[in-house]
Structure formats: C-alpha cells, structure tokens
Amino acid sequence: MEKKINPISKAFDYVRGVESGEISLGLVAKLSVKRFQNDLERGADRGLVFDENAAQVALDFFECLCFTKGKWKGKPFSLEPWQAFIVANVFGWKDVVTGNRRFTEIYIEVPKKNGKTELAAGIGLYMLVLDEENTPEVYAAAYTRDQAGICFKAAKSMARQSEYIRNELDIFANSIYCDYNEGSMLAVSHDANNTEGKHSSCVIFDEYHVHKTDDVKTSLRSGMAAREQPIFFTITTAGANRQLPCYSYRTECIVVLEDHYERDNLFAMIFNLDEGDSWEDPEMWAKANPNYGVSVRPKFLEDEFKKAKKNGREEVEFKTKHLNMWVDSAVTWIPSETWKKLAKPDFAPEEGAVCYAGLDLGYARDIASFALYFPDYDFLAVKHYCSEHAAEYASRPANINYLDWVKAGYLIATPGMTTNYEYIFNDIVEAASTFDFRFLGYDPFSAQMLKQKLEAELGTTYAAVQKEDGSINYDYHNKVQAFRQGFISMGPATKLFEETVLNEKLFHDGNPITAWMLGNVALATDAAGNIKPVKDKSNGKIDGIVASIMALGEYSIWHLTTDTYANSKTYGIY
C-alpha cells in the first residue's frame, strides 16, 4: 500500500527539490521559492510568521474534495507538490499583529492541462466553507459567462462529490449556498454585467489575459474594502497581447519577486521558460508545466508541437497555452520553421540577374533595411543597417544583441549616432551596376531624403503601362518608385509574399535579423480581407519584412502579370 504523504511535507519537499535542481523550474518561478525561504528566515523582522497549522488545515481540506474530470474523476484531490506549495503560502502566512492572512492578492500563471481550474475551484470552496469570514461571498469571475462557468461548475462538481461538505451546502444551477455561515458562491462576468454591488470575500479571477480592461477586477476588488482578509486569486495562462492589463500586472509581480519593490500582501508564481530557452526543445517543456508527466502527458505536448510546426495559429496556441510564453500577436503569420527551411546562405545570383528592390529606412536611430528580390531564382537577399551608437545602446528585447550581429556580418553598423544613409545609397548603386536592376520601391514616409539622389543615380527605364481602359502606353519611368503603405498597395504585395513563403517558393539568404523581424510582425486586415504588416502593433522591428514585401510588390507591378516584354523587358501593370 502506497504511503500517504502529508501535504505540508509535499510543500517543503517541493522547496528542497527546486533548491537541489531535482525539479525543473524557470527562473521566475524559482524566485517565488526563494522568497518563501527568505521570509522563513527573516520575515519576522517585518511582522510575518508562517503558521504551519493554518496551512495544514487548508491542505487537509483539499483531501476532502474529489477530482472532477478525466481518469481522476471521483478520486480524492491529492495536491501535487507545486500546488501544495501555493496553498501553504496562501493560507499559512500571517500578520503577527492582526493575525490575519498575509496574502490578499495571488497571481498564478500556469499553462493549460496543469489542473489550474480545479485548484482554483478548491480554493473557492475553502473560502466558502472554512474561512473565518462572516457571510462569505465567493465569486468565480471571468471575461465571459462561459469562462466564469468553467470554474464554478468544477466547484459544484467537487461539492456534490464530497461527503464532508455536501450536507452543508445547497447546490443550485447558478449558485452554491452554505447553510451554517450564510455564505454563497456564484459566477460573474463582464458580458453578463453582474459584477457591481458585490461584497466579495474571495474572487477567483480566471484567464486574466483576455480582459481588455480592468473594469471587472476593479469592481470586484472595491467590494472587498470591508473584509478583514479577502483573497483575490488570479489564475491564468499567458496571452497574445502585451498591451492588455494582465501583462502589466504580471510585470509588477515579477518586480516584487525580484525584490525591487516590497508588497507583502502579494503572492505570485509564474511557470514559464527562461530567456534563451528554445520552445522547440522538449527538454525545456517541464519548466513551464509543473504537472508534466502527471496531467500533462509528454505525448500530448509532442502531438501539439507537431501541429504548431506546420501552422502559425497552432504555434501561438502551443506557445501561450502549453509553454506559457507571451507572444506578440494573436496570430503567428508565418511559422519560423517554414522560414528556416527556405534559407540558402551560400547562394549568390549571377551578375546581370534581374532584380527588384525594396527600401525601408525606418527610424534614423535604429535598423534600416534594403531588400533585393531575384525572380529568376526565387531568391531574396536583405541587408540591414544601423548606427554604431544604436548597435551598442538601442533598447531591444533581452535576448537580442545587435553587436553580435555586427560581428557576424549580418548587420552593418555605420559611424555616428544615427544611421548613415550614404552606406545604403552606395550598396543600392553597387547592386544597380552588378545586376539587371529594374525598380526600387520605397516607403515615402521614410525615404524622401534619398529619393532625389537615387533617382539621379539610377535613372529611368522604358516600360509599358496598362491604363484603366485597357490600353497600353509605353513611356520612361523612374526606377525609384514610391510604394505607399496603405492596403491598396501593400495588400497584394503582402499576400504575394505570404503565398510564396508558405508554398516554399521563396528562398532567402538566411540572415537571422530578417527571421527575427518576421517573428515580430503583426498584421492588420481591412474589410475586403487585405492584409499588411503594421509597425505600431508589431513587437519590435519589421523593416526588413516591409522592404521585402515592397521588393516583391515592385516585381508584381512591373513584371508578374504579363509575359510580353517591351525594349528593356520590363513590361507590366503599374
């Protein structure tokens, strides 16, 4: 017979396992464990004490509940060590002076399939049945009624199955009522507009990452003002929009864990990968999934990963829901694996090869990009430029180092505080003298200062233009063409770029900066279904992708729609 382990022992064993390295955990989650250890040693100096008896009562309560789903349904809720650690922290820490619980705000960020809903439901039931609060009001809250109902339904199922508490409860379709303390538990949500006027003693706040505002949170928290030791328990997965309130709150939690800011009433635990960990490495997945090998089956993650490698939407789902990675847009436009397969870093087009170009100068204090598209080879080459000052000091994500790219030859650093456009001009002129350089598209917002100089240097070409009435007009056209950034111009070009890449018909030079930029892209869509990249919603630089799209756009404008050539062989539709 398997020996039953005391839940409080599980909590302390978890601490020891993390400390020894036996338990795989990301650095942010390790900070929660370190904070616990530090407070055991020095918390008394701030009037804090860890009450093992109080923690034990809460942990024992879970043993009286049953699982509600899957193969565990109906079996006693035996907390996993990481869950025991969280419950022990939430209910064990006390304020010495008041005797009240220390933690009134809890933030847990953990991927799907790790039992987060049942953990939250159990805490809600504890706060309904055993908390020493008069007439407790417990709310399962979420952005939508359906999401709020998930936790509430789990709590109802637990209550019905528990022989220890079900006789104390009246369980209705939309509420649970506790007879002896006149407490209640029900679901509330933003779309039901039923969060006002509450006197919350406990809020289980589910999937915070989808909330567009803090209205629900603010409303329910304001109702806690008269409570002695309320709990606002937030539990969520990562999301796909860093502009929403959850990410800001998450950042605040990390600041507290890093001991840069003292908030003794906040407990946070965030399970995710570390900076530099590859999401494609199965060895890393356990860091983000504390129930890895228990409720999270490795085979399940492997199957989800295979789907993620083939589809951008699945990649985002895998990263956010299964690895707890905050991504930069709700849709990964082009999977990184697809782009990686198309790299031909050792390929070089022959002299005289036909090419079309795109130029995006971006901001003078950061990266500018010049792209060349060779249609006869289905090949794209992109050069990136920035100032030496930007290479060393520009703000960027923690895992990006411009200087490494400069040393490797992927990024051209020009002297001075801002990008020296003379370097870009010289490279364009060299390309025009080496290849059959047809047309260059530029963003008129950023490249006006180079326009006249490039026009004078590159000159014109004789090309046919098809007018709206269908007639064809032959004339000379500047090789330097303004490429407007609206949907009318960028939409068809973006679609062409997407189709050629996804169909694996566009090879490239393998520059990692371009790959990084592709991962930053966020798309906008108009009513007609046209798509285009948008810089202000993208997470980081995308100039190289915009330049590449314009290069393909110039090709489609002047060449793609016809196989008839005029004089210079640059015949097409403008």
Q: DSSP states of 456-502 as a string?
A: HHH-EEEEEEE-TTS-EEEEEEESEEE---SHHHHHHHHHHHHHHHH
- Asked if 96 and 238 sit in the same domain, the reply is yes
Give residues with Cβ within 8 angstroms of 299, minimum separation 6: none
- Asked if 265 and 369 sit in the same domain, the reply is no
Cα gap 373→376, rounded to integer Å:
9
**Bridge partners, residue 236, by sequence:** 109
- Asked if 416 and 268 sit in the same domain, the reply is no
Q: Which two tokens stand for residue 468?
A: 């709206």
Return the CATH number at 385: 3.30.420.240
286 is a domain residue = no
18 is a domain residue = yes
Query: 95, 48 in Cβ contact below 8 A?
Result: yes
Return the CATH number at 107: 3.40.50.300
572 is a domain residue = no
334 is a domain residue = no
- Asked if 102 and 215 sit in the same domain, the reply is yes
Give residues with Cβ within 8 angstroms of 290, minimum separation 6: 25, 80, 82, 83, 110, 114, 271
The count of structural domains within the chain is: 2
- Asked if 259 and 354 sit in the same domain, the reply is no
* Residue (of 225, 419, 398, 250) closest to 320 by Cα position: 250
pTM over cut 0.85: no
The rounded radius of gyration (Å) of the Cα atoms in the chain is 30
261 is a domain residue = yes
- Asked if 168 and 262 sit in the same domain, the reply is yes
DSSP SS3 for 556: helix
Cα gap 170→39, rounded to integer Å:
40
Q: DSSP states of 218-282 as a string?
A: HHHHHTTTT-SS-EEEEEE---S-TTSHHHHHHHHHHHHHTTSS--TTEEEEE--PPTT--TT-G
pLDDT of residue 126: 97
Query: 203, 142 in Cβ contact below 8 A?
Result: no
Cα gap 221→227, rounded to integer Å:
10
- Asked if 113 and 251 sit in the same domain, the reply is yes
- Asked if 53 and 201 sit in the same domain, the reply is yes
- Domain final residue, candidates 243, 258, 276: 276
Number of residues that this document lists for the chain: 574
- Asked if 73 and 189 sit in the same domain, the reply is yes
Query: 112, 322 in Cβ contact below 8 A?
Result: yes
313 is a domain residue = no
307 is a domain residue = no
**Helix crossing, 52-63 with 81-92: angle to 10°?**
130
Q: Each residue's pLDDT tens digit in the chain (574 positions)?
A: 345 678 899 999 999 999 999 999 999 999 999 999 999 999 999 999 999 999 999 999 999 998 887 778 888 899 999 999 999 999 999 999 999 999 999 999 999 999 999 999 999 999 999 998 889 999 999 988 888 999 999 999 999 999 889 999 999 999 999 999 999 999 998 876 776 768 899 999 999 998 888 988 999 999 898 899 999 999 999 987 777 899 999 999 999 999 888 899 999 999 999 988 999 999 999 999 999 999 999 999 999 999 888 766 678 889 999 999 998 665 668 888 889 999 999 999 999 999 999 999 877 778 999 999 999 999 999 999 999 998 988 766 656 789 999 999 999 999 999 899 999 999 999 999 999 999 999 988 766 678 888 888 888 887 776 666 666 777 778 898 889 888 888 999 999 999 999 899 999 999 999 999 998 888 877 767 788 898 877 767 899 999 999 999 999 988 743 333 333 333 333 3
Q: Which two tokens stand for residue 290?
A: 């504390």
* Residue (of 435, 121, 111) closest to 296 by Cα position: 111
57 φ/ψ angles, rounded to the nearest 5 degrees: -60, -45
Q: Which two tokens stand for residue 266?
A: 């906040």
- Asked if 258 and 360 sit in the same domain, the reply is no
- The alpha carbon of residue 532 and the mean position of all alpha carbons in its chain are separated, in whole angstroms, by 20
Query: 110, 99 in Cβ contact below 8 A?
Result: no
Structural domain for 22, as ranges: 7-276
- Domain final residue, candidates 238, 253, 276: 276
- Asked if 347 and 244 sit in the same domain, the reply is no
314 is a domain residue = no
- Domain final residue, candidates 258, 276, 294: 276
Query: 454, 440 in Cβ contact below 8 A?
Result: yes
- Asked if 347 and 246 sit in the same domain, the reply is no
